[in-house]
């Protein structure tokens, strides 16, 4: 066999091997089924009330499998992210979902939402949210940010974009002892503990349901009269 013939045979053999291995490689680059994960971002008490607002970030993703997870575990495939704002009443043991904010299409990674202000002045109580994320797949890409206002009443389903937080709004308070007067403090996690001026001991009162991501009261109390 001439050198040219041997070369053509080698090329045909390489192509055959590549065609044989391609399905194996593709089958190894897979992701698991879609699953939901829920995480409390932060919470803030309404000034001079026994209520608080809390943001829960729900993420639907598919975990990497096979070659996709090589060599360091791989990166999950994010399908959907939603930030939900909840209003919790500690005295009544009630919860109300105020708003849900889907991740904007322009955000590619690092999506988050935070309660940053409570405005109890005027006729309509309002909660302010800081929603942000990265325009690219890594943390060194441009940060996109929105400031949103959610009225506790009468509109309880829509987050409105605003340019600033008014001076009448309270900012996130610092940690420390109860300061006196009507007050609630919140320790937020998968289980949320609160204490108030009338019940100064920390008590678990609400939790995040692992399946739905909803905030649920731990106990039902008699209605406050």
Residue 187: which residues within 8 A CB-CB, separation 6 or more?
193, 194, 202
Q: Are residues 3 and 46 in the same domain?
A: no
25 within a domain of the structure (yes/no): yes
What are φ and ψ of residue 206, in 5° steps? -140, 160
113 within a domain of the structure (yes/no): yes
Predicted confidence (pLDDT) per residue in 74-129, tens digit:
688 899 999 999 999 999 999 999 999 999 999 999 999 999 999 987 677 899 99
Residue 3 is predicted with a pLDDT of: 57
Whether the pTM exceeds 0.75: the reply is yes
Range of the domain at 2: 1-29
Nearest-10 Cα torsion for 175, 39, 184, 45: 90
Determine which of 29-33, 40-44, 101-105, 208-212 has the lowest per-residue pLDDT on average: 29-33
19 within a domain of the structure (yes/no): yes
Q: Are residues 25 and 84 in the same domain?
A: no
How many structural domains comprise the chain? 2
Determine which of 19-28, 32-41, 126-135 has the lowest per-residue pLDDT on average: 19-28
SS3 breakdown of the chain: % helix, strand, coil, rounded to 5? 15, 45, 40
Q: Are residues 56 and 21 in the same domain?
A: no
Q: Are residues 1 and 53 in the same domain?
A: no
141 within a domain of the structure (yes/no): yes
Distance CA 55, CA 154 (A): 20
14 within a domain of the structure (yes/no): yes
Q: Are residues 86 and 124 in the same domain?
A: yes
Q: Are residues 25 and 109 in the same domain?
A: no
5 within a domain of the structure (yes/no): yes
Determine which of 12-16, 57-61, 118-122, 141-145 has the lowest per-residue pLDDT on average: 12-16
């Amino acid at each position: 066999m001439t050198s040219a013939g041997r070369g053509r045979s080698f090329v045909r053999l390489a192509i055959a091997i590549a065609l044989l291995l391609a399905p194996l490689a593709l089958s190894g680059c897979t992701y698991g089924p879609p699953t939901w994960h829920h995480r409390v971002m932060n919470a803030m008490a309404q000034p001079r009330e026994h209520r608080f607002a809390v943001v829960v970030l729900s993420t639907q993703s598919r975990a990497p499998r096979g070659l996709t997870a090589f060599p360091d575990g791989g990166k999950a495939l994010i399908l959907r992210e939603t930030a939900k704002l909840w209003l919790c009443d500690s005295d009544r043991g009630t919860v109300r979902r105020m708003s849900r904010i889907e991740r904007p299409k322009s955000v590619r990674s690092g999506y988050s939402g935070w309660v940053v202000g409570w405005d109890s002045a005027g006729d309509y109580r309002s909660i302010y949210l800081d929603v942000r994320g990265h325009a690219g797949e890594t943390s060194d890409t441009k940060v996109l940010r929105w400031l949103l206002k959610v009225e506790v009443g009468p509109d309880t389903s829509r987050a409105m974009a605003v340019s600033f937080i008014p001076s009448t709004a309270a900012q996130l308070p610092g940690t420390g002892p109860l300061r006196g007067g009507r007050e609630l403090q919140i320790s937020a996690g998968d289980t949320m503990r609160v204490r108030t001026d009338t019940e100064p001991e920390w008590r678990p009162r609400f939790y995040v349901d692992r399946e739905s991501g909803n905030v649920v009261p731990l106990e039902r109390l008699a209605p406050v009269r």
